Amino acid sequence: FFFIFTPFIAKYRYMYSARQVLLNKDDSNEALIQSRNMAFSGSLVHSGDGEVVVCHIGMNTEIGHIVTLTKEADTVMTPMRRELQRFITIISAIAICLGTIFFIISVATGKGAMTSLVFAIGIIVANVPEGLLPTVTMALTMASKRMSKNNALVKNLESVETLGSTTVICTDKTGTLTQNRISVHRIVTPNKVFAFGSGDAVPGSEIKHLRRIMALNNNATLNSSGGYSGDSTEAALLTCVRDMEDIEDLSGFTRISEKPFSSATKYMITVCSKADGSFEAYLKGAPEIVLSKCDKMRISGETVEMGDEGREWFRTTLTSMAGRGERCLGLAYRAVDVADEIEEEEYIFKGIVGMLDPPRPEVPEALLKVKGAGVRVFMLTGDFGLTAR
């Protein structure tokens, strides 16, 4: 089913693509796939209730269109299939030509037409490689068996040979080249660097606002068994906050509104009420995006104008951290007067969080083998360019 939500439930959160989004009746788009006030079959209601209008059912839904496309997809000719067809065409042409030639010679030498025809058919059949199919199948099966010993499951036998024709490999980074065990490595502010993982405790009181941004601008949750639910990057931030000393009680803060993170905006904003009744907005996202929304910065407990000197410090620090392979996030905050309005300008820049995801130990050897086989490797990632390198 394909649903459209009425304005009544636009204020509630709904789960879509395993991420919370805020629905708005005005968030429509000519391309239905980009309309945030629509939901697809399989969407999970996170909270709230409301009325829905069924727009399409069955194969007329967006999911149905995807199913139709998969059914209409053309079968791709594998390199082995192309070579076999070419080989069979050549052998068949040679066999037919030889059969025809020997038929003509046989008739010309006075043999009967029927005898000559039987002789020509025998010539043609004799040239057909009857053992080709079982030989190819056996070779591919043996190759699949060897690959299974290396934990590679082969569904289609022809794909075994296709691997031998590979010239380019495109691979994801997180969880593939890395261990997907991201953790906060350090936090850099304009006047101090806080290192984590070195064994030295970092007092939470010294980075009160940073810790507050990391905890309150966050949708991940930690459980008692050491696991988490939500985004791994946000879980790393939350783990860092939990491991600090002298962490002040955050129970007095209540989230009022939120602008969720998206790949298009590259930032997330939350507005929270404090125990004294005032409101603060917390900004987290790509460092360059966060910087563009800040006009001030916090240095040694004082708020000063960003200025050219501050922006130069930012560029130098970001380049240095990204050059070490750290995934960077910018953090900022500001006071707000109206809780329902999410401000996007005039933030106070607090610092940059650098996180590391250690590479898998077997990756270097695997890359050397792949390059030795003449295969080029490309890494696909949404990280900052220097971090990826």
> In this structure, which amino acid lies at residue 192?
K
**Contact between residue 274 and residue 239 where contact means Cβ atoms under 8 Å apart:** no
Quickly list DSSP for 41-55.
Answer: TT-EE-S----EEEE
Q: How far from the centroid of its chain's Cα atoms is residue 365's Cα?
A: 24
Report the pLDDT value the prediction gives residue 160, as an integer from 0 to 100. Answer: 74
CA dist 134 and 136 (Å) reads: 6
Report the pLDDT value the prediction gives residue 82, as an integer from 0 to 100. Answer: 82
Other beta carbons less than 10 A from residue 89's beta carbon:
10
**Torsions phi, psi of 192, nearest 5?**
-160, 155
Strand partners, 169: 377
Report the pLDDT value the prediction gives residue 329, as an integer from 0 to 100. Answer: 92
CA dist 307 and 184 (Å) reads: 28
CA distances to 1, 5, 12, 320 from 55, rounded to whole Å, are 8, 11, 21, 52
**Torsions phi, psi of 195, nearest 5?**
-95, 145
Report the pLDDT value the prediction gives residue 206, as an integer from 0 to 100. Answer: 57
Tokens representing 41 are: 């079959």
**Contact between residue 90 and residue 68 where contact means Cβ atoms under 8 Å apart:** no
> In this structure, which amino acid lies at residue 267?
Y
CA dist 208 and 201 (Å) reads: 15
Strands in the chain per DSSP E: 2-5, 13-16, 19-22, 38-39, 44-45, 52-56, 168-172, 183-189, 192-195, 221-222, 228-229, 254-259, 267-273, 279-285, 294-299, 302-305, 327-336, 347-356, 376-380
**Contact between residue 349 and residue 294 where contact means Cβ atoms under 8 Å apart:** yes
* Tens-binned pLDDT, residue by residue, of the chain (389 aa): 444 443 333 333 333 333 444 555 556 667 776 676 777 777 777 666 667 788 888 888 888 888 888 877 667 777 778 888 888 889 889 989 999 998 999 888 888 888 888 888 888 888 877 788 888 888 888 888 888 887 877 777 777 777 777 889 998 887 788 888 888 988 998 888 888 865 455 555 557 788 889 989 988 888 877 778 888 888 888 888 887 755 556 777 888 888 888 888 889 999 998 888 889 999 999 999 999 999 999 887 788 898 888 899 999 998 888 888 888 999 999 998 876 778 888 999 999 999 988 888 898 898 898 888 889 999 887 776 777 77
Other beta carbons less than 10 A from residue 236's beta carbon:
24
CA dist 105 and 100 (Å) reads: 9
Strand duo 279-285 + 294-299: pairing: unpaired
- Of 27, 49, 74, 172, catalytic: 172
172 is catalytic: yes
Tokens representing 180 are: 């997907």
Provide CB contacts within 8 A for 253, sequence distance 6+. 212, 216, 272, 273, 274, 275
Tokens representing 345 are: 């300008």
CA distances to 156, 231, 287 from 59, rounded to whole Å, are 28, 33, 43
CA dist 263 and 328 (Å) reads: 15
**Torsions phi, psi of 96, nearest 5?**
-65, -40
Report the pLDDT value the prediction gives residue 127, as an integer from 0 to 100. Answer: 82
Sign of CA dihedral 9, 11, 13, 16: positive
Report the pLDDT value the prediction gives residue 28, as an integer from 0 to 100. Answer: 66
Strand partners, 187: 194, 353
Strand duo 327-336 + 168-172: pairing: unpaired
